Amino acid sequence: MSQFRQLRLPIGRLSDTPYVVVDTETTGLDAQVDRVVEIAALRFEGGRVTDRFETLVDPERDIPPESSEHHHLTDSDIEGSPPLAALDEPLLDFVGTDLIVAHNAAFDRQFVAVINGRRWVCSMRAARHLWPAAHAHRNQYLRYWLKLDAPEIRKASAHRAGSDALVTGHIFHRELQEYEVIHPEAGMDDFISYVASPIPISELRFGKLHRGKPLAQVPGTYLQWMLREVADLDPDLRASIDAELTRRATPNAA
C-alpha cells in the first residue's frame, strides 16, 4: 500500500484539495552548511488559510549579512528561538497527511528533513507549465502578474516565511483552478504528474555560442555534444533537446 494513500482528497473540485504551504528563510543557499532561521507552514482549504505554524528558528550558527540583506533577520532577532530539531514533532503533527506545496520545492524540502519524504509539489514548476508567457515565475512576480488581491496579501512583505507562504498558497490555488478548467476530470495525482513532467524549452539559455537561439536553429552536433558532455544539464532542457533531435530524425518532420 502506498505511504501516501491517506492523503486527503478533494470533495468535488480539485481546487478544494487541502494543502500545506511550507516556506523557509535560511542562512544561505547550501543545505550542507546553511540552516533555517524561520519556517512557516500554512494550511489552505478552498483557497483560504485555515491554520498556521510559524516560528523563528535558531540556526545554531551566525547569520551572514548577505542573508540578512534578503530577509532582514539578524542574530539578535532569533535569540531564544528553538532549534529546528525541536520543531520536528510539532511540524509533523501540523502537516499531517496533507499535500505539501512550496515555491521552488527542491530548495525548501532539503532544509526540513523531517518532512522531506512526504508528498511535495512545486508551485513554481506548475507556473512554468501553466503560464509560459510570464516573463518570470518567482513568487512575488507572479503575485503581481496574476493580480492577486486577497486582503491578507496586500499586507504581505517579501522574503519572510509567513508572507511568502501566504502568496504561494494563493498562487497554488489559482494553478489548481487553471488546471481543472483544462482537465475537469483530473485528480491530484494527475496534476502532480503534470507538474513533474518535462517543461518544454524552446530557446537555448546555455553557453555562449548559441545562447538565445531557438532550439530548432541550433546545430544538431552542438545539441548532441550538450547531451553527451554536460553532466549537470537541466533535465527539462535535456528532454527538450531529445525531442528536437527526435523531430529532426523523423521523416517529413516540419
Question: Which helix (H) or strand (E) covers residue 91, if one does?
Answer: helix 88-95
Name the burial class of residue 97, with classes exposed (0-12), middle (13-18) and buried (19+) by CB atoms within 10 angstroms of its CB.
middle
Residues 109 and 155 in one domain: yes
> What interhelical angle do 161-182 and 188-196 show, nearest 10?
110
Q: Cα separation of 199 and 205, whole Å? A: 14
Task: Count structural domains, the chain.
Answer: 2
111: left (phi over 0), alpha (psi -120 to 50) or beta: alpha
Residues 208 and 116 in one domain: no
Question: If you ran DSSP here, which 8-state letter would residue 83 be given?
Answer: B
**pTM for the structure as a whole:** 0.89
Q: Cα–chain-centroid distance for residue 148?
A: 18
Q: Which of 148, 168, 196 is the last residue of a domain?
A: 196
pLDDT 10s digit of each residue in the chain, 254 long? 333 334 444 446 899 999 999 999 999 999 999 999 999 999 999 999 999 999 999 999 999 999 999 999 999 999 999 999 999 999 999 999 999 999 999 999 999 999 999 999 999 999 999 999 999 999 999 999 999 988 888 888 888 999 999 999 999 999 999 999 999 999 999 999 999 999 999 999 888 899 999 999 999 999 999 999 999 999 999 999 999 999 999 877 55
Q: In what order do the strands lie in the sheet with 19-26?
A: 48-56, 36-45, 19-26, 99-102, 120-122
Full domain range(s) for residue 124: 14-196
Residue type, 151: P
Percent of the residues in the chain that have a pLDDT greater than 90, as a whole number: 87
Q: Which of 154, 171, 196 is the last residue of a domain?
A: 196
Reported as a single tens digit per residue, the pLDDT across 208-240 is 899 999 999 999 999 999 999 999 999 999 999
In this predicted structure, what is the pLDDT of residue 253? 59
Half-sphere exposure of 99 (CA within 13 A, CB side): 24
Residues 145 and 167 in one domain: yes
Start-to-end Cα distance in the chain: 46
- DSSP three-state, residue 50: strand
Contacts of 226 (CB under 8 A, 6+ apart): 206, 233, 237, 241
Residues 208 and 182 in one domain: no
In this predicted structure, what is the pLDDT of residue 202? 92
- DSSP three-state, residue 214: strand
Q: Which of 181, 196, 211 is the last residue of a domain?
A: 196
Q: Which residue's entry shows cell 501540523?
A: 94
Q: How many helices and strands in the chain, by DSSP H and E?
A: 11, 5
